[in-house]
Amino acid sequence: MTQAPVNVTVTGAAGQIGYALLFRIASGQLLGPDTPVKLRLLEIPQAVKAAEGTAMELEDGAFPLLAGTDIFDDPKQAFSGANVALLVGARPRTKGMERGDLLEANGGIFKPQGEAINAGAAEDIKVLVVGNPANTNALIAQSHAPDVPAERFTAMTRLDHNRATAQLAKKLGAPVSEIKKLTIWGNHSATQYPDLFHAEVSGKNAAEAVNDQKWLEDEFIPTVAKRGAAIIEARGASSAASAASAAIDHVYTWVNGTADGDWTSMAVPSDGSYGVPEGLISSFPVTTANGKWKIVQGLEIDEFSRGKIDASVAELAEEREAVRKLGLV
Ligand SMILES: NC(=O)c1ccc[n+]([C@@H]2O[C@H](COP(=O)([O-])OP(=O)(O)OC[C@H]3O[C@@H](n4cnc5c(N)ncnc54)[C@H](O)[C@@H]3O)[C@@H](O)[C@H]2O)c1
Ligand SMILES: O=C(O)C[C@H](O)C(=O)O
C-alpha cells in the first residue's frame, strides 16, 4: 500500500446489503485494486453486535487492501473523515405504514446523517444513498449538509440501469457488454423510466433494434420498474447482492469515469436539465470524469419519453413537498 487509506463509511452495515457489500469493498472493487480502504461501519445500537461479527469475518478475509474496520452507533463519529459514504441503512415500510410515515421515519435517520456529514466528513466526500426512498432520503441528507457541495449527494438508480441492460440483452440475444447509453430517468420507484431510445446495441439504436413498441411498453418498462417487487415476492426479502453490486458500480464509475462513448444512470441534484425542477434528486444520463459527474445534454426527448419522465419527476416533486411539510428539507 503506497497511498493513505480512503475512509469508506457504510450505514446499515449489519443488514443484508451490507453483508454483500463490505467484502467487495474490502477486496478493492469499490475504488480499484491500488486503493487501500478503511471501513467505518454505522449501525443502530441493537445491531452493533451483528456488525462486530461481520467485522470479524472481514478480518478473516485477510484482504490486502483493508486497512481496518471500526464500528459506531453515533453518526458524528462514523462520518468523521469519511471520503465515501454509502447510506444503506433505512427504515423499511412495515404493515399499515403510509408513505408519509415512511418519509418521516427516514427523516429521523437521514437528517442527523446529513448533519454529521456536514460536520465532519472529508473535503472530497462523495455520498451514495441506497436506503429507500433513496432519492428523497438523499435530498433530506443533502439539505442538512449546507457546507458540502450539493452535487456530492447522489442516489442509486444503477440497479435499475443494470436490470434494464440485462433485460435488453436478453431480448436481443446480445452480450451486456454491447449495450451502451441506456438511461434510467426519474425516481427509484415503479414510476422510473428506462429509456431505450438513446441506447445503443453494438453501435445501433436499441429501440430500432428491438422494433417492438408493444414489448417496450408492456414488458420491458414494467419488468424493470417492478423488478424490486418481483425479487421481494420471489426471495421473501428485497434484493441484496444485486443492490450491493450496483452500489459498487455506482461509486466505481463516479470515481474512475465512464468509458468513452458511454454513460451511466445516477440520481443527482437537478440543475433544471430536461425540465426536471432544480434541486430534485432525479436520475439522469450522466458521464463521469475526474471524480465528477455531468448530465448528458442535448438529447431529443419524444412525446412518449416526455410523458414517462414527467410522471416520475412529478412523484419526486410530491415526495419533496411531503418532506417539506414535515420540516425535513
Ligand atoms: N436503491 C436501490 O436500488 C435499492 C435496492 C435494494 C434495496 N434498497 C434499500 O436499501 C435499504 C437496505 O436494505 P437491506 O436489505 O440491507 O435492509 P436490512 O433491513 O437487511 O438492513 C438495514 C440495516 O440498516 C440498519 N439501520 C437502520 N437504521 C439505521 C441508522 N439510523 N443508522 C445505521 N443503520 C441503520 C438496520 O439495523 C439494518 O441492519 C432498504 O431501504 C432497501 O429498501 C435500495
Ligand atoms: O427494497 C425495495 O423496496 C426494492 C428495492 O428498492 C429494489 O429495487 O430491489
Is pTM, for the whole model, over 0.90?
Answer: yes
What ipTM does this complex have? 0.99
Question: Is there a binding annotation on residue 131?
Answer: yes
What is the reported pLDDT for 150?
98
Nearest C-alpha neighbor of 189 from the set 86, 84, 85, 102:
102
What is the reported pLDDT for 94?
73
Of residues 158 and 100, more confidently modeled: 158
What is the reported pLDDT for 1?
47
Indicate whether 90 and 202 sit together in one domain: no
Q: How confident is the model at residue 2 (pLDDT cuts 50, 70, 90)?
A: low
**328 within a domain of the structure (yes/no):** no
Instruction: Tell me the best of 109, 137, 238 to mutate to test the pocket of ligand 1, counting ligand atoms within 8 Å of each CB and taking the most.
Output: 238
Checking if the pLDDT of 82 tops 70, the result is yes
Mean pLDDT (the chain) is 96
Nearest atom of ligand 2 to the alpha carbon of 160: 8
**246 within a domain of the structure (yes/no):** yes
Indicate whether 247 and 107 sit together in one domain: no
Indicate whether 175 and 150 sit together in one domain: no
CATH of residue 66's domain is 3.40.50.720
Indicate whether 151 and 234 sit together in one domain: no
Indicate whether 166 and 113 sit together in one domain: no
Last residue in a domain, options 155, 186, 219: 155
Q: How confident is the model at residue 97 (pLDDT cuts 50, 70, 90)?
A: confident
**173 within a domain of the structure (yes/no):** yes
Instruction: Tell me the best of 22, 73, 132 to mutate to test the pocket of ligand 1, counting ligand atoms within 8 Å of each CB and taking the most.
Output: 132
For the residues 166-184, what does the mean pLDDT come to?
Answer: 98
Nearest atom of ligand 1 to the alpha carbon of 238: 15
Sheet of 66-72, strand order: 66-72, 37-42, 6-11, 84-87, 126-129, 153-155, 264-269, 281-289, 292-295
Beta strands in 12-63 (DSSP E): 37-42
CB atoms within 10 A of CB 131: 25
DSSP state of 5: P
Indicate whether 220 and 242 sit together in one domain: yes
Checking if the pLDDT of 55 tops 90, the result is yes
Nearest atom of ligand 2 to the alpha carbon of 231: 9
Checking if the pLDDT of 175 tops 50, the result is yes
d(CA 24, CA 4): 19
What is the reported pLDDT for 265?
99
Indicate whether 207 and 148 sit together in one domain: no
Query: pLDDT tens digits, residue range 59-80?
Result: 999 999 999 999 999 999 999 9
Indicate whether 277 and 145 sit together in one domain: no
Q: What are the phi and psi torsion angles at 261 (to 5°)?
A: 75, 20
Annotated catalytic, 188?
Answer: yes
Last residue in a domain, options 105, 127, 155: 155
What is the reported pLDDT for 99?
75
Indicate whether 10 and 151 sit together in one domain: yes
Please give the distance, rounded to the nearest whole angstrom, from the Cα atom of residue 42 to the centre of ligand 1.
11
Of residues 34 and 96, more confidently modeled: 34
Checking if the pLDDT of 280 tops 50, the result is yes
What is the reported pLDDT for 92?
75
Percentage of the residues of the chain whose pLDDT score is greater than 90: 94
CATH of residue 282's domain is 3.90.110.10
User: Which residue in the list 144, 161, 188, 198 is annotated as catalytic?
Assistant: 188
**112 within a domain of the structure (yes/no):** yes
**1 within a domain of the structure (yes/no):** no
Indicate whether 169 and 313 sit together in one domain: yes
Checking if the pLDDT of 93 tops 80, the result is no
What is the reported pLDDT for 98?
77
Indicate whether 165 and 140 sit together in one domain: no
Number of structural domains found in the chain: 2
For the residues 196-210, what does the mean pLDDT come to?
Answer: 98
What is the reported pLDDT for 102?
86
Beta strands in the chain (DSSP E): 6-11, 37-42, 66-72, 84-87, 126-129, 153-155, 179-180, 183-185, 193-195, 200-201, 204-205, 264-269, 281-289, 292-295
Indicate whether 317 and 250 sit together in one domain: yes
**Ligand 1 in contact with 21 (CB < 6 A)?**
no
Residue-number span of the structural domain to which 183 is assigned: 157-322
**Ligand 2 in contact with 29 (CB < 6 A)?**
no
Cell of 157: 438508480
Query: pLDDT tens digits, residue range 249-272?
Result: 999 999 999 999 999 999 999 999
**175 within a domain of the structure (yes/no):** yes
Last residue in a domain, options 155, 177, 207: 155
